[in-house]
Amino acid sequence: MSKVEAYSDLMREIKSGRFVFTGELEPERTTDLSEIIEAAKDLKGHVVACNVTDGPQACAYMSSLAASYVLQKETGIEMVYQLVCRDRNIIALFADLLGAGALGIKNILALTGDHSAVGDMPDAKPVFDLDSAQLTYMIRKMVDEGVNPYGKPINKPPKFHVGVAANPNADPLEPEIFKVRRKVEAGAEFIQTQAVFDIEAAKRFIEETKRFNIPVLVGIFPMKNYRIADFFNKNVPGVSVPTELLKKLEKVEGIADKNLKKQKFDEVNLDFFIEFIKELRKTTAVGCHIMAVGYERLTPKLVEAVR
C-alpha cells in the first residue's frame, strides 16, 4: 500500500483494512438526474463511494464530471469520476481534471474507453491522445508534483486518488497482467475489475497481481432480469454468465405476478453473489465493486448479508 496521504473516504477505507464496497451509477441521455439521485440515496451507508460512468459502450450520455458533482452534492456519497481517453485530447483531459479538483472530486478512474464505432454515434471521431496508463501518469504528476505533462506548475494542484480497470476474465491472462504492471508503474493506486462471475478467475487474478502491492476491488454484476443477463452473456466480450445462473433467471422470467417476479430475481442474485463475496473475502481483495446499474435496490440487501 502507498504511504501517500489519503485524500478521500474511499482511500481511507481501503487503508483501514476493512472490506470495501463501491457502487456504480450511470447518467444516461438526459438532463434530469432526479431518478438516479434517489437510487444513489438508497446506497448511502452501504457503499463508501460510487463510480459515475463516462459514456459506457461509447454512448453519448450526460457528462460524467457534471453528474459526479451533482450526485456527490445531492447525496453526500463520495463519487469516483470515470474519465475516458476516447473523446478528449490531452488538453481537454487536463482541463477536465482541473475542473474535477475545483468541484471537490477526490477519486478518478482512468480508462482508455470503448471505441466510438461501437456506440450510438458510430461516425464520431475517436481521439485516444493518451491511454489509461498515460492518463494515470499525468494525474500523478498533477497531484504529486503539481505540474502539467510539460512541467509547467499548477496553481493549487488537485488532490486525487487514481484507480484503473482490469479484466480477470482475460484468456490468456498474461497480457492483462502486463497491462496492469504498466498502469501500476504509471502510479495507479487501486484497481476495480470488470465484472467476474467465476470466483476461480477472480482468485487467479488476485494471486497474479499480489506482486504489484495494489488494492484490488473485484467487480460483480447483479442482473435484475433474464433479458439483461442474456444480453450481457452474448454481447460483452470475455465475460460469460454461468449456465446454471442463466437457467434460474430464465425460469423466473416466466412468473406472471410482477411483485413475486422481482422478489425471485432478487433471491437468485443474492444466492449467487453472497456465496461469491464470501469466497472473495477469503482472498487478499480489499473489496467488491457492485455494478448494479438500474438495480440499486439489491445492493443494500447484498452488502448487509455479507457483513
> pLDDT, tens digit, for every residue of 153-205?
999 999 999 999 999 999 999 999 999 999 999 999 999 999 999 999 999 99
Q: What is the mean pLDDT of residues 266-277?
A: 98
The mean per-residue pLDDT over the stretch 61-66 comes to: 98
pLDDT of residue 284: 98
Confidence of residue 3 (pLDDT cuts 50, 70, 90): low
Q: What is the pLDDT of residues 293-307, one digit of tens each?
A: 999 999 999 999 998
Q: Which residues pair with 216 in a beta bridge?
A: 191
- Indicate the pTM of the whole model: 0.96
With cut-offs at 50, 70 and 90, classify the pLDDT of residue 239. Answer: confident
Long-range contacts of the stretch 9-12 (C-beta < 8 A, 24+): 9/48, 9/49, 9/78, 9/106, 10/48, 10/49, 10/78, 10/80, 10/106, 10/107, 10/161, 10/190, 11/107, 11/161, 11/189, 11/190
- Distance, CA of 26 to CA of 221 (rounded, Å): 14
Strand residues in the chain grouped as ranges (E): 20-25, 49-52, 78-84, 107-111, 161-166, 190-195, 216-220, 287-290
Domain at 9-224+283-306, CATH from 3.20.20.190, 3.20.20.220, 3.10.129.10, 3.40.718.10: 3.20.20.220
Residue 44: name the closest of 296, 263, 306 by CA.
Answer: 296
What are the Cα distances from residue 167, in Å, to 128, 164, 185, 237, 271? 20, 11, 18, 11, 24
* pLDDT value at residue 99: 98
Question: How remote is the C-alpha of 119 from its chain's centroid?
Answer: 19
Whose grid coordinates read 476493512?
18
Span 14-30, pLDDT tens digits = 999 999 999 999 999 99
Q: Is the pLDDT of residue 2 over 60?
A: no
d(CA 259, CA 17): 39
Q: What would the grid cell of residue 176 be?
A: 492483462
pLDDT at residue 92, as a whole number: 98
Closest CA to 120 of 28, 52, 27: 28
Mean pLDDT across 69-80: 98
**Residue-range domain boundaries for the chain:** 9-224+283-306
